[in-house]
Amino acid sequence: MADQIERYIKRLLEQQEEGVVELRRNDLAKIFQCVPSQINYVLSTRFALEQGYLVESRRGGGGYIRIVKLQMEDDKELRKLIDKTSNNLISQQVGEGLIERLQEEGFLTRREAMLVKAIIRREALPLELPLRDMVRANILKAVLLTLTRDEFNQ
């Protein structure tokens, strides 16, 4: 169900030139025949800042939601992400969301995204928490640093 809701919202965003969509939580819940808390779950896990979205929400009266697709225009945005990953713990879910964003923005190919996702999976990092999340953050930082290297100096 979460995948269907995510796809629906992303389709709506793609149809908007500005990359902004306004929705009502209750309307989405009716469309997908679920409770509004399911919509909240999708928004918090699939449309986080790390994944390139800004979600503005207002409670009451069914709840209004504005979702903005943020664009990574240049390496400055990648550098901001590097700063954010430094000395942080990153869960598999957040890491995968970040990788998907990099793929959507054209910084990673589909194949590269698949490889990095495989590297940061919990099964590939047989460590206890929080060490596993710290190692994942360091791997993602290395990937981001590699992406920001000047192509002409290689």
pLDDT in tens, 65-75: 889 887 776 56
The Cα–Cα gap between 127 and 61 comes to: 45
Write out pLDDT tens, residues 105-130.
Answer: 888 899 999 999 999 999 999 999 99
- How does the average pLDDT of the chain come out, rounded? 84
Write out pLDDT tens, residues 3-18.
Answer: 999 999 999 998 988 8
Q: Which of 15-24, 49-58, 70-79, 91-100 has the lowest mean pLDDT?
A: 70-79
If asked whether residues 93 and 60 sit together in one domain, one would say no
If asked whether residues 99 and 143 sit together in one domain, one would say yes
| Percentage of the chain modeled with pLDDT above 90 | 36
The Cα–Cα gap between 13 and 6 comes to: 11
The Cα–Cα gap between 53 and 76 comes to: 17
- Domain boundary among the residues 26, 43, 69 is at 69
The Cα–Cα gap between 20 and 40 comes to: 18
Q: What is the mean pLDDT of residues 37-64?
A: 80
Domain range spanning residue 137? 75-153
If asked whether residues 81 and 148 sit together in one domain, one would say yes
If asked whether residues 107 and 147 sit together in one domain, one would say yes
Q: What pLDDT shows up at residue 123?
A: 96
